[in-house]
A and B are shown apart, each in its own frame.
Chain A
Amino acid sequence: MSLTTVATLPWVEKYRPKTLNDVVNQEEVITSLKNILKTKAVPHMLFAGPPGVGKTATAHAFARDLYGPNYIEDGWFVEINASDERGIQTIRDKVKMFARQIPMGGEISFKILLLDESDQLTDDAQHAFRRVMEQYSSTCRFILAANYSNKIIEPIQSRCAVFRFRPLLKKDVIGRIKWIAEKEKLEVDDAALETIYEFSEGDMRRAINILQASASITSKIDEKTVYYILGYVSRGEIRKILELAMSGNFTQARDELRKLIYVQGLAGSDIVSAIYRELFYLDLAEEDKLELIDLLGEVDYRIAEGGTEEVQLMAFLARLAAKSRKKMNIGR
């Protein structure tokens, strides 16, 4: 298979469920949504569940089944990502613009607005959004998608029909990957399937991305191919930073850290998580690791408390550098 065929469009998009019938492994949710479709009495809805299980896709599929294939072009459906919109005012303005007019002639008298990653809104913003929901509910129904429903304030939850999306099971992910592989005429061996599943952690989007990248190398995908891809895309940046600090090169470690934060735009909490995963494998005395784990926890908490990401992480790297130096001296 030629590369240009593989790289036509992202498979996550190509194999996105188009209708509710295509959605994998969310039978209960889909059954309820189909009932709603029959009556066309659409409530506000909250879709809760881990990433990559199909919340956004289901919202799109639902809208398509409700309004027809041109649901977006005809102006029935719009999505806003809460984590990209800075303030509630921007969201309010967008909702206002969108919900002001109802397309004429349809039998349905409301539009649908999908607020993705709605758990990223602060409590204050959620309270403001609740008022927006009420203000525009006659012309607009809201679907809120969230990873954690407990991060959505009670007043919003109580106004929504809550749909819980199950985490995908291993067989769901592997089944879907096999299905795509068949369509794309790929051979994927069992070990490769296992590895893809392991690193996807139940996130279908990630699993499909790994598959597509692997397919760009070979049509016979084995475990090695998958590891090669994973090594490629992760690029080991965090490990590099830790190693620089451990070799006493604090300044360079600092610069690389800053590139991650300010050039790649990685969130401090994600850097903390990545460091946490690496920490156990570092070449350090066990008691030093414990101390660093404790310090990292402090960094994590302080960032949540409003501390500056780079400063708190630099303090961690400086401590790591000091610990490693001691170890080197003892080794001599």
Chain B
Amino acid sequence: MPQLWTEKYRPKKVAEVVGNQDSVKTFIEWMKSWEMGKPSKKAALLYGPAGVGKTSLVLAYGREYGYDVIEVNASDWRNEEKMKSIVGESSQYASLDGYSRKIILVDEVDGIAGREDAGGILALRKIISETRVPIVMVANNPWDQKLASIREQSLIIEFKRLSKTALIKRLREICEKEGINVSDELLSKLAERSEGDLRSAVMDLQAVAAGKNTLTEKDLEVLGERNRVREIFEALRYIFYAKSIRGARAAIEGLELEPKTIYTWVLDNAPTQITDLDELAEAFDLLARADIYFARIEKLQMWRLMKYAIPLMTGGVAVARRTPPKGFQKFTFPHKIRLLQQYKNEREIRQSIAMKIASKLHLSKYKASKDVLPYIGFLISRTYGSKPRITEYFEFTIEEVEYLNKIYGRVEEEKTEIKDVKVEKPVKHSRRKSR
């Protein structure tokens, strides 16, 4: 089964972690100090841009040296009982008798700083001071004032963007394992686009190369169109895979896009990312609620309602999505945009037909399109090829006649005798209600 390459090629050993070798060394030393029973600090705060290996290092270390890495959801540490059971019971941390040892990994720790969640920070502080197992926190930006006390308790380790050379080297390794032919030049382009973010580079690579033997310049064009879009794809990934509503909400913060625009991306990616129908229905319930908030914001100019719409449209889908998708599901452009482009011509033809019918028959364009156009289409298709006067009457163009014939004509069936046609009682028309 296909798998996210970012998971498949996550480092299994510390030595496989790409780049930031000084930071890696600092981290190892800190862990050794725990193993000696004398930790320099109770917690470590790994910070730096996304996709440079912070979490990967912790996971690789745990795997290599026999630790269970317990990922703590941001909302968990407010639950004291639960934290005690995780942190407290691990008194055998120092014993070397083969009991499983633990590392507690707290993701998105900067997520709590910006919010009004002072309680969350207090709880975390308390846990750090009491813990008997190493606590590793991960953040993009640790310099928020509210995190000051936590910074004091922690060993701060910085991670930098990865160099282009390091990225290319890793991408090359992956391509070799996947059996993909690719030039250095193309890998270099992929690396450049990612701006030192290995995860997004690997994501991009999988998006363009999965299932191919050779990667060409042309394959990369898909990515080329979406310089800015890459950011949205990234955000979508965070939204759909967030572990908390807060994390999902934070994903759209840096984007220079209207929430309404992001909404259209979330809306159209939901059906491919959420495969379980119950979960999908749940997600759409929440998206439909968010839509109502957008409507109210517009109608009443109540911009403060935005703070309800955003968690519903981001955290909503993350919470609803419980079953992981089957394999790698690409994020895509909003399908609606494609559909409108694809059918632009047809839409215009139909409108033009409706307008001609409306003006001749004293109707609104809407009624003409909905109530009368099908009958006219039927008549036209019946006489297709003979240029009937009705075509002249409405002054339809050749293109318009072609359209009507295509939609309302069934050329083969015309030869069928009426009596052979299976009569199925169609649903009754009803009068149009107010729009």
Using a CB–CB cutoff of 8 Å, the interface residues on chain A facing chain B are: 3-4, 6-10, 12-13, 50-51, 56-57, 60, 79, 81-84, 116-117, 119-120, 147-148, 151, 198-199, 201, 203, 205-206, 209-210, 212-213, 216-218, 224-225, 227-236, 238-239, 248, 250-251, 254-255, 258-259, 262-267, 269-270, 273-274, 277-278, 302, 305-308, 310-312, 314-315, 318-319, 321-322, 325-326
| Contact yes or no, A228 B428, CB < 8 A | no
- For the complex of A and B, list the 8 residue pairs with the smallest distance between their C-beta atoms, beginning with the closest: A306-B295, A233-B374, A315-B288, A322-B281, A318-B284, A7-B388, A209-B375, A315-B284
Q: List 19 contacting pairs A-B, 8 Å CB cutoff, sorted by A.
A: A60-B362, A81-B365, A82-B364, A83-B435, A206-B371, A209-B371, A216-B379, A227-B423, A227-B425, A233-B377, A259-B339, A274-B427, A302-B292, A306-B296, A306-B299, A308-B295, A311-B288, A311-B291, A315-B281
* Minimum CB distance partner of B260 in chain A: A308
B347 within 8 A of A: yes
* Minimum CB distance partner of B335 in chain A: A255
Which of the candidate stretches B38-46, B117-125, B272-280, B303-311 sits at the interface with the other chain?
Answer: B272-280
B323 within 8 A of A: no
Q: Which of B281, B366, B390 makes the CB contact (< 8 A) with A9?
A: B390
Q: Which residues of A sit under 8 angstroms from B271, Cβ to Cβ?
A: 250-251, 254
Q: Which residues of B sit under 8 angstroms from A57, Cβ to Cβ?
A: 362
| Contact yes or no, A224 B418, CB < 8 A | yes
* In the complex, per-residue mask of B370-409: 1 if CB is within 8 Å of any chain A CB, else 0: 1110111111101100101110010000000000000010
- Give the CA-CA distance A305 to B297 in the complex, in Å: 12
| Contact yes or no, B434 A119, CB < 8 A | yes
Further pairs besides A10-B390, A265-B369, A307-B292: 11, Cβ < 8 Å:
A10-B361, A10-B393, A51-B367, A83-B435, A117-B364, A151-B434, A209-B371, A236-B427, A258-B339, A270-B370, A315-B285
B349: min CB distance to chain A, Å: 10
| Contact yes or no, A7 B390, CB < 8 A | yes
Q: Which residues of A sit under 8 angstroms from B145, Cβ to Cβ?
A: none
B350 within 8 A of A: yes
| Contact yes or no, B374 A234, CB < 8 A | yes
Q: Which residues of A sit under 8 angstroms from B296, Cβ to Cβ?
A: 306
Q: Which of A7, A269, A326 makes the CB contact (< 8 A) with B379?
A: A7
B174 within 8 A of A: no
Q: Which residues of A sit under 8 angstroms from B292, Cβ to Cβ?
A: 302, 305, 307
Q: Which residues of B sit under 8 angstroms from A228, Cβ to Cβ?
A: 418, 421, 423
> Given A7-B388, A213-B379, A263-B343, A307–B295 Cβ distance below 8 Å?
yes
Q: Which residues of A sit under 8 angstroms from B419, Cβ to Cβ?
A: 224
Q: Which of B350, B378, B423 makes the CB contact (< 8 A) with A233?
A: B378
How extensive is the interface on chain B, given as a class?
35 or more
Q: Which of A4, A233, A251 makes the CB contact (< 8 A) with B386?
A: A4
> Given A81-B365, A83-B366, A277-B428, A218–B339 Cβ distance below 8 Å?
no
Q: Which of B280, B299, B350, B382 makes the CB contact (< 8 A) with A264?
A: B350
- Give the CA-CA distance A248 to B277 in the complex, in Å: 8
- Give the CA-CA distance A51 to B367 in the complex, in Å: 10
- Give the CA-CA distance A20 to B257 in the complex, in Å: 60
Q: Which of A225, A234, A267 makes the CB contact (< 8 A) with B426?
A: A234
| Contact yes or no, A250 B361, CB < 8 A | no
Using a CB–CB cutoff of 8 Å, the interface residues on chain B facing chain A are: 267, 271-272, 277-278, 280-281, 283-285, 287-288, 291-292, 294-296, 298-299, 335-336, 339-340, 343, 346-347, 350-351, 354, 358, 360-367, 369-372, 374-380, 382-383, 386, 388-390, 393, 408, 410, 418-419, 421, 423-435
| Contact yes or no, A213 B375, CB < 8 A | yes
* Minimum CB distance partner of B292 in chain A: A307
| Contact yes or no, A325 B378, CB < 8 A | no
B25: min CB distance to chain A, Å: 49
| Contact yes or no, A273 B281, CB < 8 A | no
Q: Which residues of B sit under 8 angstroms from A216, Cβ to Cβ?
A: 378-379, 382-383
- Give the CA-CA distance A169 to B435 in the complex, in Å: 26
| Contact yes or no, B364 A8, CB < 8 A | no
* Minimum CB distance partner of B354 in chain A: A265
Q: Which residues of B sit under 8 angstroms from A305, Cβ to Cβ?
A: 292, 295
| Contact yes or no, B418 A218, CB < 8 A | yes
| Contact yes or no, B375 A277, CB < 8 A | no
- Give the CA-CA distance A38 to B388 in the complex, in Å: 42
| Contact yes or no, B390 A318, CB < 8 A | no
* Minimum CB distance partner of A8 in chain B: B389
| Contact yes or no, A263 B347, CB < 8 A | yes
| Contact yes or no, B429 A199, CB < 8 A | yes
- Give the CA-CA distance A16 to B423 in the complex, in Å: 31
| Contact yes or no, B280 A232, CB < 8 A | no
- Give the CA-CA distance A140 to B226 in the complex, in Å: 57
| Contact yes or no, B366 A250, CB < 8 A | no
Q: Which of A147, A234, A259, A321 makes the CB contact (< 8 A) with B280?
A: A321
| Contact yes or no, A258 B336, CB < 8 A | yes
* Minimum CB distance partner of B407 in chain A: A235
Q: Which residues of A sit under 8 angstroms from B383, Cβ to Cβ?
A: 3-4, 7, 216
| Contact yes or no, B389 A224, CB < 8 A | no
| Contact yes or no, B386 A3, CB < 8 A | yes
| Contact yes or no, B428 A250, CB < 8 A | no
Q: Which residues of B sit under 8 angstroms from A224, Cβ to Cβ?
A: 418-419, 421, 423
